[in-house]
Structures are given as structure tokens and as C-alpha cells.
Amino acid sequence: MPTGNNTTTSISRRYRQAVLLYGLSLLLLVVGLSWVIRAQYLAELQAAEQRLSAKSALMVELIESTFSTSSQSLLGLADMLDSTAGGPLPGHAALSELLNKRNSTLPYIDDLIITDLTGRIVARSAPRLGQPLSIHQFDIYRNLQRAEDGFVVSPVYWASSAEGYRILIARWLKDGSGQIRAAGLARLTPVMLSNLLGELDLVDGESIAIVDEKAQLVARLPESNFALGDVINGPDTALYVNEEAATTRFMEYSPIDGDLRLYVSMRAGNLPLWVVLGQGIHELVMGLVIRLWPLVFTGLLLALMGMILLRHLFAQWRIEQALRSEVVERQRAEQEAQSGEAHLQTLMNSMQDLILVLTVEGRFTYVHAGNESQLLAPPAEMIGMHYSDLLPEHICERVDATFRQVLQAGSPQRVDYRLEFDESPAWFSALLSPVLDSEGKIDAVLVVVRDVTEDRDQQVQLSIAATAFETHLGMMITDEHGVILKVNRTFTEITGYSEDEVRGRNPRMLSAGRHDGDFYRRLWEQVSRHGSWQGEIWNRRKNNQVYPQWLTISAVRDANDNLTHYVGTLSDITERKAAEREIHQLAFYDPLTGLPNRRLMLNRLEEALASGEQKEQYGAMLFLDVDNFKQINDSLGHHGGDDILQAAAERMESVLRDGDTLARLGGDEFVAVLRDCGRDPRAVVEVVQDIAQQMLGALGMPFVRHQQPLLLTASIGITLFHGRTSTDELLRQADMALFQAKSLGTNQVCFFDPELQARLQERTQLENDLGQALEERQLFLVYQCQVDEHGDTVGAEALLRWRHPERGLVSPAEFIPLAESRQLIHKIGLWVIESACEVLVKWAQQPALADLTLSVNVSPLQFQALAFVDQVREILSRTRAPAHRLKLEVTESLFVDDRDDICLMMEELKNLGVTFSLDDFGTGYSSLAYLKRLPLDQLKIDQSFVRDLLESSTSSAIVASTIALAHSLDLDVIAEGVEREDQRAWLLEHGCRRFQGYLFGTPATLDEGDLIQR
């Protein structure tokens, strides 16, 4: 091995030396040739420049000579002025004729002009209409005034009269005494200069042109697309035109024909003309190339001979190297084979996969296992076994099919299967590949088996993660810089942006602009400090809709605590916010009118109390109740009533001040809280009174319902507050004031009165005491007899009395309404009926009293109870009282609603034997219709009519009509409140046969005397 390396190194060194020597020789040859070519090129340029300069000088002499001749022609004009020496110039016509004759003898001159010293044209050889009368404004006249030799030439200009480009020459004209008398001008055609160029012999590649001081083309050979007068805009044109030097040399691409040329520019004396002579570089080089070809051919021949020599040396060295390398390569091949086999074995041992070699029959010839616990048998035992001897049957069937595919298709095939090891499942993936012999036939099958249990577990986890990612929450994943990497389908549904539209962008694109920089700074400080942030945020959808969003941002870090990603989960909380608003609306506002409810009103009242205490001002609470609203509801229906309440709320709210609150407590009850009404109590009362009257006035305006006007009235109770006061106390005070207002009638306003509060407190105490009166046997019955026309007792009326332990006897007119309002009337009423039945039972046992009837007053509230009939039936059954002796007295208010169920209840009681008397007839809802329908037995004339029966014709007429009506309906009639004999006589005369009153006896208990005697 060392000998081979040294030989190779020696040969390589000789290669490098030979190549280096050959390269240096070529370099010297190229440098020499380049130097010779450059020297020849410079010599050619110098020769061409000299040739161009000589030709330019010749052309300049020709131009100067031509213009000198033209100048002498102008001097001849001075002879025309000698005859007028010292006097005025000849006349225009005569002088113009002379000029015309002179012009016809001069070549290349098409117009002669004479001006006076001011520049006014005196005469010209070819006068035409429209020509200028003076030249004092032209540059040639100004240049003539400045010229030292009194002679100037103009650049090329366009002569409209001649319809072509011309050149003007001008000089002063002197008379014989040498005095300047005039200026003479001659207009030359540039053709003379083109003719001059034709006299010059040009070789291939040469061009010559005459340009003026404005870079205008005057003449050129050879001809080109540029015309006479065209401006030549070459890179160096301005340089030589403005150059003070008479001769300029430069090289550039011709602006006329585009060829690269060497130019020599030479000015024609003091004339504004330049002669530009050029030599084409292409023609110049072509001649040089022709002369250099033999030299280049000689150099190439030398290079080729050197290459042939070098190649011959390389061939000899390669043969020598090949002989030496063959021995070295054999040694190296043996070592590499040994090393490769060892390396392959090392690789095989390091592989964790199972490597198996099977014959085409399926028997193991080689077994390698990085983990032998994955084998179903020891490796040594597996050699020569068939795989079907080891694998379970269901796996073996799949391997058989795959094995056949490998043998038939000759291409690798894969099969996955699962094995159980100690009740622990493991997944394997086997790749079966054909092994070919030297003839290309399948000689064996290579099987590489890999344990993919962890891969499958990871795949399952990824599948679970992917499923979790597509959750009902929007998800967004960004890198550590906040660049969006992935979003889920819910994110698209919420924001309207697809994944392609947001990938690579920053989540700032979703911002609605409702949060300032401080908000986002605190947000990211929270994420940085605690790893996450969650909260409510306003963002914008793709359609520009701004919506509320619940956002959670979590930072993801790797095992080294380096930030790698951010994960954001978001949900649209628009519906939740709407629900919260709806809940807030339901919690604090009345659903019908949209006004604050009791809860919000109490909050506003607390605020008003605090504000009044701070500002030391009064406030007020107004408790309003619509009068008789139940009738409106019954007539219009609940929907109609709701419409009226809504309209009423709008009217009342329009009356209040900013900062005041109108609330609906329920039904037809409203509360207004007025704040900051002032410091003077009297002024405050006036302000509040005025607002209350405005509210009543607003309600007093007609409400139109189905094109029918409807008038509302209301009662308002007012209480003032100043400083800290209990809200419950204020409500009680306003309620008491409202009670007082309603007691005064409709459309009334009352302020809270402490005396009223005392009475109401007394009433409340009385209500509480009434609840205990029955249990404590404070209630008792008294009886007033009822007599016929002979004065005989036919019955009695049981009257309820209350003996209060402190107040004594309480009037029924005072405690009966309390019992009805507290729903105690049902319990008390049943006690009265049961007590009356017990009395009837006792009377039935006494022959003198057995035929008497006992009347009991029944409250409408008690009678309307669904269980009333059953309760009466149960009392009659339990006491065994004679039902036909029990008379229930009912009032007209029971029949206001014209309810059929009341009639049915009366029919049921009538079937039990109970009789009915209509009490207080004529004082309420008197109707013949219900008198006809109801199963009544008696009409009772109210004592209010009987009292002034003899004094009032109206009362007497009503009583007489009632008696007649009762007789016509076949009903008994009884008059109550009979206190005088004359009243009894009148009633008897008009047909009334039953009486009750103090004339016949005062109400008394049964223990106080004999009912018959009374």
C-alpha cells in the first residue's frame, strides 16, 4: 500500500510539472502575440489619425478659400456705393436691380442684400412679399457688429422664401474714402460645400462631414439617412463643437450610421463650421487581421506540437501507473472486502429490525434479531424451519398471500400483523423483497421486520389529536413569532377566513380595533408570565362584522423550556352576550313596557337617596295606579289592555325629567322616582305636584283603540324623601298616600300624611288581630227577628260581631272588608254557617221555634269558591240541620260578571233545600235578566230606601216598584231597617208582608232573651 501511494504521488507530481511547464509556454506565447498585435493596432491608429488630419486640413483650406471668394464678391458691392459717397444710399428699386444683375454672375449665391447701418434692408436681389424689412434682430447682424475683421458667417438655417437650408455671409461695405456706408449680405446654398467634399478621395471605411456650431449637418460623404440641417446628437459632438482647440480627436459610434469610428474634427478657421473626418475601426482592424494571420497560425502550431508531446508523456506515465496500481488495487480490494464484511456485520448487529432470509420454499436460511425477545424461537432453531411452523394460522395466511405476490411479481411487498407477547400486543411491519441470482432469477426472499407498536400508538395519538383539533371551538396554532401555521374548520366557520387565507399572517388581521395597546400589552405579559391568558375580546370577521369572542392563548414550550408555539382557542359568544343582555333585560326591565321593574327601581331609588344626601336635595316617589283598569281589561281583552299600558307608559315617561325613573311594578301600578328636586320643601312640593298633574294630564288624553276613544284616569300617591330613608318605608308611605288618593275618588293626587300612616298601621294591626279572633272566640253571632204583617216572628237574621279585647266591639263595616282582603272570609263564613245550622238544630227541637228560618249573609268571595257547595253540604250533613230553614243572603255584586257557574252553584244548593234572599236589592247591579234566571226565593229591600221612604218620592217609587216586581216574579219581599210604625203601615199598604228592624227588636244573642218575645 505505501509503495502504490508513493508511485501515484510521484506520477501526479510529474503530471503537474509537465502541465505547468506547458501552461507557462502557452502563456508566454499568448503574451508575445498580444504585444505584437497591440503594437500593430496602435501603429494603424496613428497612421489613420495622421491621414485623417491631413485630409481634414486640406478640406479646411478649400472651405476657407470658398468663403474668402464669396467675401470678395461682397466687397464688389461697395462699388455701387461710390457714386453716393457722403450722401444717402441709392433708391431701393435701382439698387435692387443692380444687385439682381450682380447675383446672376455669382455661383452658389441666390440672394444679395444691402442694409443701412441700423440693419434696415435697403435693397435685395430677390425681394418677395413677407420678407423681413430689417436684420437688426438677427444673430448675424449682432455678430457682424462684434466682428473685428468685419466679416461673419451664419450657421445653417431654414430659409422659408427659398424653401431650403441656406448659409448667410455678411460684411461691412466701405466707400472709396474707407468709411463704412452699409452692410452687405449674401445667401449661399450649402451645395457648394457638398461639391467640395466630392473633390476629396476617401478610402473604405472613411466618412467626412461638415457641421456648424449648432451640430447641424451641412454636408456628408458618403450620404446617409441624415438630411441637411439635421442635428447630430453624438456623445462627443458637443465636445468638439464647443472645444476651443482647432483640432479634436476621439473615437465613438457614429450617430449617423452606428459604426465605430476614429474621428478627427478640425474647425475651418474662424468660420462656424467644422470638418469631421472618420475612419471605420472595422476596416482598420480587417487590414491588421489579414497581416496577423500568419503569426497567429505559427503560434497555434507551436501550441499543438507542445500538446502532442505532453500527451505522449502522459500516456507513458499512465501505463507505468496502471501496472503499479493493479497490484495495489488487488491488495486494497482484499482489505476492503474484509473490512466491508466486518462493517456489514457491525451494521447488522446494530440494527433493531429483524432480518430474515428465506428460500423460495419459505424456509429460514439466515436470522438476525436486534432483540431476540421478538422472535418466536431461538435463531439457531429457526434455521431450516418454515415460517408457517412459527406464525399463528391467521397471520400465516396473510404471509402466504404476500409471499406468493413477491415470487410472482418480483417486486417488494409489505404485510402488517399483530403478535401477543406475555399478553402484551405488539405490531410488526414486514417488507418482503426478492433476492436475484446472477441469471436474474429469484433465489431467495429477504424479509425485514420492524416493530411498529410505538409508531401505531403515535398514529393513534395523532388521530386523537386531529379529532380534538377539529372541535366545536375554533383553534389556531402559530409559531413563536405569532405567524399563523394552522387553523381548524371551526375557526373558518367563526371568522370566515380559510386556512390558506390566514396561513403565514399575524392574528392582528382579526383585530376589530376596539382594544388599545395597553390591553394587548397586559395580555402578552400574562402569557409570558403565566403561560396562558383567557378573556373576552372583540374581533372582526372576514365580512367586517365585529363580534365578541372568548379567547384562550397558551404558550407551548419544549423540554428545554424554549418557546416553540402558541395555541389559541376561540369561541363566538355573540349568542351568549345576547342571552346575557336578554337576561339583564328580563331581570331589570318590565317585558311589556320596557320600563325598569321593581328590582331596578329600588336600585335607582338607592342612587337617588345617596345623591339627595350628598347634594342635600329632596327627592320624591310617586305611586300611580290606573283607576278601574280591570274593566278596561275585561272589555278590550288582555292584548288590548297591554296595548293601553304600553301607550300609557310612553306618555308618562315623556313627562318626566332627564335622570328621573319610571318603573312598572306589575298590573296597572307604576312608580316614578324623582331625584334632585331642590332644597326648599315648599318649592319641591310644587315641582312634584306639577309633574304628577302632567302625568294625569297625559293619561287623560284619549287613547284610540279600534277607532274608538278611551279615557283613563289614575290615582297618585306621593312621598318626599330627604337624606337616608329605608326604601321599604318609602314604598309603604307612597302606598298609603295612594290608598288615600283612591279613597277620594278618581284622578286624585295625595301626598303622604303621617296621620294616614297611623290609621293604616292601626288597620294593619286590626288585620293581624282578626286572624286570631276566631281561634280566641272573639267572634260571636247576634240575631235580629223578622216578622210578618201580624207581628209574628217568622225568622231571624244572624249577624256577625267582634268583641276586641282592647277596642271593644268592632263594627262589621270595618272588619268584614279586612276579612275579605286577607282571605279570612272563607274560614269565618263557614263558621257562621255552621253556627247557624247548630241553632237551627236546637230550634227544630222546640216546637215554638221549629218553623223559623235563619238568614246568613254570604260574602261574594266566599260564594265564588269552588268548594263552597261541598262545604255547605258537608256542614248540613254533619249538623243534620233542616236545610229548608237555612236562608243564604247574597248581594247583587255576586252577579256582576253574569257568571253561569254561580247560577249552577245556587241550583245545587237549592236542591239541598237551601233558600236564597237577594240582599240590598236596588243599591247595586239591579237587572231583571238575572232575577229571572236565578233560583231566588226572596228580595230584601235595602234599609237606605226604607229610611227616607216617606220623605223621598224617589225612594218610595223604588220600594213600590221592587214590591211589585217581587210579586210578579212570585218572590217574597222583606224590608229591612223598619224603625217606625208609619213606615210599616206604608209598606204593608203596598203589599210588603215581611219586616225587619229596630221597630221589632234589636240584634241580640240567644242568651239575652226569648226570640219570640222580641
In the block, residue with C-alpha cell 430659409 = 159
Nearest to 653 by CA among 667, 630, 674, 676: 674
| The predicted structure's pLDDT at residue 111 | 81
What is the DSSP-derived secondary structure letter of residue 205? T
What is the DSSP-derived secondary structure letter of residue 81? G
Could you give the CA distance from residue 729 to residue 978 in angstroms, rounded to a whole number?
Answer: 48
Could you give the CA distance from residue 979 to residue 998 in angstroms, rounded to a whole number?
Answer: 5
Query: What is the residue type of 13?
Result: R
Could you give the CA distance from residue 577 to residue 814 in angstroms, rounded to a whole number?
Answer: 54
Angle at 972 between CA 968 and CA 974, to 5 degrees: 120
Strand runs (DSSP E) across 779-865, as ranges?
779-787, 793-804, 808-810, 853-857
Cβ within 8 Å of residue 804, ≥6 positions away: 769, 773, 778, 810
C-alpha cell at 853: 228560618
3-state secondary structure of 470: coil
Q: Hey, what domains does the chain have and what are their CATH numbers?
A: 52-283 (3.30.450.20), 371-469 (3.30.450.20), 471-579 (3.30.450.20), 589-752 (3.30.70.270), 772-1000 (3.20.20.450)
Tell me the sheet residues that pair with 621.
Answer: 673, 719
Cβ within 8 Å of residue 603, ≥6 positions away: 588
**Residue pair 713/740 in contact by the 8 Å Cβ criterion:** no
Nearest to 134 by CA among 117, 121, 122, 118: 121
Query: DSSP alpha helices (H): ranges in 199-242?
Result: 237-242
Tell me the sheet residues that pair with 444.
Answer: 359, 435
What is the DSSP-derived secondary structure letter of residue 1011? T
Residues in the chain: 1014
| The predicted structure's pLDDT at residue 1014 | 43
| The predicted structure's pLDDT at residue 1003 | 92
Nearest to 805 by CA among 762, 773, 763: 773
3-state secondary structure of 207: strand
| The predicted structure's pLDDT at residue 1 | 46
Q: What is the pTM of this model?
A: 0.38
pLDDT in tens, 373-413: 777 788 888 888 888 888 888 888 888 888 888 888 888 98
Cβ within 8 Å of residue 611, ≥6 positions away: 617, 619, 675, 676
What is the DSSP-derived secondary structure letter of residue 893? G
What is the DSSP-derived secondary structure letter of residue 214? T
Could you give the CA distance from residue 483 to residue 495 in angstroms, rounded to a whole number?
Answer: 17
| The predicted structure's pLDDT at residue 899 | 63
Q: Which residues in the chain land under pLDDT 70?
A: 1-11, 81-92, 128-130, 234-246, 287-288, 291-292, 317, 333, 337-352, 422-423, 457, 459-471, 584-586, 754-761, 896-899, 922-930, 1008-1014
Give the orientation angle of helix 727-743 with respect to helix 754-773, to 10 degrees: 90
3-state secondary structure of 713: coil
